[in-house]
Structure 1
Amino acid sequence: MKTKYAASPIGGETTLHGDAATFETRTYARVVKRLIPFLMLCYLGAYLDRVNVGFAKLQMLSDLQFSETVYGLGAGIFFLGYFIFEVPSNVILHRVGAKRWLARIMLTWAVISACFAFVTTPTQFYVLRFLLGVAEAGFAPGVILYMTYWFPSERRAKALSMFFMAIPLAGIVGGPLSGWIMHAFHGVGDLAGWKWLFLIEALPSLCLGVAILYYLDNGIDQAHWLSDVEKALLKRNIEGDNAHKMEHMSIRAFMADRRLWLMAAIYFCVVLGQYGLTFWLPTIIRKAGVADPLWVGIYTALPYLCAIVALPLVGMSADRRRERRFHLIVPMMVAAAGFSTLPLLGSVSASLVCLCIAAAGILASSSQFWALPTALLGGMSAAAGIAAVNCVANLAGFFSPAIVGWLNDLTGKSTAGLLFISATVVFGAVLVLLVPARSVNR
């Protein structure tokens, strides 16, 4: 059946008559084109500033005489600050709007990230990592919440997959870039390469933080680039999607909701694997026999290239089939296989194959997970629920580098740490089976 839409002047344009499904598809394509690339770019800057310490480690530890344990603890302390401030941050974003709050987050963490160039003691390292977590708290869950303002459940997995492609993009761009900065700038102005790394890679976040104020809209009503008919379509779909969700609940009911704790436990396992990869990937490649930081950076891009192919494919399959659980379980099991096989291999090429498998699986899992809680929650409950799940789970970002670093120091090799990561990811995959399929398969 053909559906006609009334004329809607936006700069002289009118909405063309056409099939309703085609019009809807084109409208969402327009939303994706407007929002996703820019948000991906912002998250790329966030992720780069969060994990570039993994590359700085290649020079910083010897320069400052830090142990693997000091590095692991410092890398993980970021997530304590993240944990404390994430829920308040998302609630504030829901109240004051995404534009101002996301800009505040980016500008603050850019300045703190640059300050790492002046670290000289473990205490300074710990304090700055904690403050970076405080500054960045709320960005990723804030964007996930922001997605619920635009995309209904049946379209959200694909949108989230595209957004989370920023993580492998950060690896593809950040790996070679970080290696090149440390290789080319070492000694320039009497500064070590790792110091230049922190200073230079803080600049994109600083610029993007300003750009948010001019580019991003708080919601559908403020989107001047949409016609009235397009806005009405998007708002109708969001209202219909939210009709079955929990909009408000008391603090006691919120804390007692077993579904939220189950979600947090599942995502804890995913995050532990994710940061097991990102914080130790450069070290694993160097131990496989690559010494030059430039080549370490180039090789780290390969696992992320595999992940960037896997993310949209898994997301499109999940939306097309309206199936969420096994589109999370399968990537998690694939990641666990990659992590557990890695210690058995010694050559650079074989290690890279396993790292590619692990990266594709764990990063696809990270994006697919968010189709579960966003299918259950709406309104203020979504703001608090997404942040609560994310902040509890991101404590894995503290435990992952801390435990792996301790195991590496204790055993003198990385085998125990990788097996620990693999076992945790498998446990998380088993927990996914406890999520009722009928609640999330939409």
Structure 2
Amino acid sequence: MSEKTTTSSIPKGQSESETTLDRVYRKIAWRILPFVMFLWVLAWMDRANISFAKLEMQVDLGFSAAVYGLGAGIFYIGYLIFEVPSNLYMQKIGARKTIARIVIGWGLVCALTSLVQTPWQFYAVRFLLGAFEAGFYPGIIVYLTLWFPAKRRAKIFGFFMSASALSGVIGGPLAAFLMTHFDGALGLSGWQWIFLGEGIPTAVAGVVVLFYLTDHPHQAKWLTAAEKNAVIADLQADANKHSERSESLREVLRDRRLWVFTGIYFCTIIGNATVAFWGPTIIKTLTSFSIGTIGWIISAISLFGAAGMVLNGYWSDRNGDPRRCTITSLLFGAAAFFVLAFVWTSVPAVAVVAFGCALVGAYSTLPTFWQIPNLMYTGTAAAGAIAIINSFGNLGGFVAPYALGLVETRTGSIFWGLLGVGMMMTVAALLVFTKIPNVRTGYAEELKA
């Protein structure tokens, strides 16, 4: 009777060992994911909070749209210079120490942004913010591969990356609250309180990293010996299954697919940076809402973006085809940017909906895109490749806000800028379709079996 009950409790098509692994991976996910998601929320809030600060900071300091755009984008130059060394150094000292260093550093620089008075000071702190944050995102991607096999990663990546959208859910209302309720406190403007109120807690969170994160499964005191052995064996089997992956960084640098990935990511980040750094300005231009209301609108739209990332990652794991899911989300985002450009200011309600769809498309691409290079590279090659793709691809984050700032300064509208963003995301979809092989996780086949 007992044996019969136990057998019937196992889902159809799964063995008892698979059911045990599911339980262990859920335990790992609940331990790691909420915390790294929280850190990524802080990273995006500290990176993109200038989009709200701009609404007052630009007037108080006399910055033009071009100055703001350059300052927003120069973050990615620091990111580019320091990202690959940071990610390779993580291979030597481990994720825990690397992530702690990064988070403490960017939190302190974010707080220092409250002291900015001139354009050059603005450029300097934004460059330093990028330099300190460099390595965090690709480092977490590599870190998660140490805990989850390929067939489970897209959904895990989706949850982690959804934090960038959740940062808008939390960051918008928080920035609006700090600007409206703390304006004038201690002689500081509301925009200065944004940087202090978000930067100092981040530095504290960096200290917590040292005591909370674990580098590898075999070091996890919060797993039983049996759980450790099950996960280590499963990860080793996964590594053997994908043993044909490149491990040499030198070999990867000669692989033209690496640079195709970088181009795809560059185009994708142009879309992401546009909605992140110009979202509040776009909503304010289209409506007569207060800063507080704009914060809640961005929050609601970002919630849909977070859901899109998780669902797209989940669907990729189910069908085993991250390539197709990546193309679909890119084209959806591109279409939304085209609609936004052509109804810009003429049909505000449709434009706001189009902006929301553009955000969902741009964000939903990320978890499935990153699954593809992780199926091709491993070890040091994966760390280096992911850092290269992320750092050079993130130059799109420099180009987008700066280009849109120049376009608005010279034409009084961002119509051509939005049109260009839609075209870049279309190019990204075409590159995935024509240049990237259909690497599958194999999970769909296992489910059918």
Would you call these one fold, judging by a TM-score over 0.5?
yes
Which residue of the partner structure matches residue 278 of structure 1? 276
1:7 match: none
Q: Which residue of 2 aligns with 1:249?
A: 248
Deviation readout 1:12-67 (Å, 9 max, x if unpaired): xxxxxx81121111111111111101100011001100000111100011111111
Secondary structure of 1:22's counterpart equals helix
- Per the TM alignment, residue 438 of structure 1 is displaced from its structure 2 partner at its CA by 4.2
Verify the 8 A CA contact 1:72 1:406 in the aligned structure 2.
yes
1:45 equivalent in alignment to 2:42: yes
Query: In structure 1, what is the equivalent of residue 12 of structure 2?
Result: none
Query: Residues of 1 paired with 2:72 and 2:244: CA distance?
Result: 37
CA contact (8 A) 1:303 1:352 kept: no
Q: Deviations over 1:168-214 (max 9, x none)?
A: 11000000110111111112222111001111011231121011111
1:240 Cα offset (Å)? 2.5
Q: Using the alignment, how far apart are the partners of 1:245 and 1:61 within structure 2?
A: 52
Work out the CA distance in 2 between the residues paired with 1:384 and 1:440: 22
Matched-pair contact (CA < 8 Å) for 1:374–1:382: yes
Name the structure where helix makes up a greater proportion of residues: 2
Match of 1:311 in 2: 309
Match of 1:86 among 74, 83, 87: 83
- Correspondence for 1:13: none
Superposed counterparts of 1:262-411, under 5 Å:
262-343=260-341, 344-346=343-345, 347-411=347-411
TM superposition shift of 1:242: 2.5
Tell me the distance in 2 between the aligned counterparts of 1:249 and 1:60: 47
Deviation at 1:237, TM superposition (A): 2.3
Contact 2:88–2:383 (CA<8 Å) still a contact in 1? yes
* 3-state SS, counterpart of residue 267 of structure 2: helix
Quote the Cα distance in structure 2 between the aligned partners of 1:174 and 1:40. 14
User: 1:112-167, CA deviations, whole angstroms, 9 ceiling, x for partnerless residues?
Assistant: 00011111111000111101100000001000010110111111000000001101
> TM-score, length-normalised on structure 2?
0.92
Q: Residue 257 of structure 2 contacts residue 436 of structure 2 at CA under 8 Å; is this kept in 1?
A: no
Query: 1:187-226 to 2 correspondence within 5 Å?
Result: 187-226=184-223
Question: What is the rounded CA distance, in whole Å, between the counterparts of 1:273 and 1:250 in structure 2?
Answer: 29
Distance 2:419 2:374 in 1: 31
Separation (CA, whole Å) in 2 of partners of 1:236 and 1:175: 43
State the one-letter code of the partner of 1:373.
Answer: P
Deviation at 1:311, TM superposition (A): 1.6
Structure-2 residue corresponding to 1:177 = 174
The structure-2 alpha-carbon separation of the partners of 1:291 and 1:257, relative to structure 1 and needing over 3 Å to count, comes to same
Is the 1:90–1:142 Cα contact (8 Å) retained in structure 2? yes
Render the CA deviation track for 1:80-134: whole Å, top value 9, x for unaligned: 0100110110111121111111000000111100011111111000111101100
2:436 and 2:289 map into 1 onto residues whose CA distance is 48
Shift of residue 313 of structure 1?
A: 1.4
Structure 2 alignment gaps of length 5 or more: 4-14, 443-449
Give the TM-score normalised by structure 1: 0.93
Amino acid corresponding to residue 207 of structure 1 in structure 2? V
SS at match of 1:439: coil
Instruction: Measure how far apart 1:379 and its partner are.
Output: 0.8
3-state SS in 2 of match to 1:248: coil
Shift of 1:254: 2.9
- Change in Cα spacing, 1:250 to 1:52, as seen in structure 2 (3 Å) is closer
* 8 Å contact from structure 1 (residues 302, 352) kept in 2: no
Offset at residue 216 of structure 1 (A): 0.3
Q: State how 1:20-35 maps to structure 2 within 5 Å.
A: 20-35=17-32
1:15 aligns with: none
Q: Which deviates the most, 155-164 or 258-267?
A: 258-267
Are the aligned partners of 2:116 and 2:122 in contact in 1 as well (CA < 8 Å)? yes
Deviations 1:375-411 (A, max 9, x none): 1111111111111111110011111111111111121
Q: Which amino acid aligns with 2:416?
A: A
Quote the Cα distance in structure 2 between the aligned partners of 1:255 and 1:399. Answer: 24
> What is the letter of the counterpart of residue 233 of structure 1?
A
What's the secondary structure of 1:50's corresponding residue?
Answer: helix
Q: Which residue does the alignment assign to 1:429?
A: 429
- Residue in structure 1 matching 2:56, options 48, 51, 59: 59
1:96 paired to 2:111: no
The amino acid that maps onto 2:410 is L
**Which residue number in structure 2 is paired with residue 261 of structure 1?**
259
Counterparts of 1:110-125 in structure 2, within 5 Å, are 110-125=107-122
Say whether the 8 Å CA contact 1:285–1:296 is kept in structure 2.
yes
Shift of the 438–415 alpha-carbon distance from structure 1 to 2, 3 Å rule, reads: closer
Residue type matched to 1:420 in 2?
Answer: G
Distance (Å, rounded) in 2 between the aligned partners of 1:142 and 1:315 = 19
1:349 deviates by 3.2
Contact 2:344–2:415 (8 Å) recurs in 1:
no
Partner of 2:6: none
CA contact (8 A) 1:311 1:364 kept: yes
Which residue of the partner structure matches residue 230 of structure 1?
227
Contact 1:86/1:137 (CA < 8 Å) preserved in 2? yes
Q: Is the 8 A contact 2:286 2:352 kept in 1?
A: no
Distance 1:159 1:183, change over 3 A: same
Q: Is the 8 A contact 1:246 1:381 kept in 2?
A: no
Amino acid at match of 1:307: G
| Matched AA of 1:46 | A
Match of 1:165, SS state, is helix
CA distance in 1, matches of 2:440, 2:271: 23
Deviations, residues 361-388 of structure 1 (Å, cap 9, x unaligned): 1111022210111111111111111111
Output the CA distance in 2 between the equivalents of 1:438 and 1:193.
50
Gaps of 5+ in 1: 3-17
Letter in 1 for 2:283: I
CA RMSD of aligned residues (A): 1.5
Structure 2 residue identity aligned to 1:363: Y
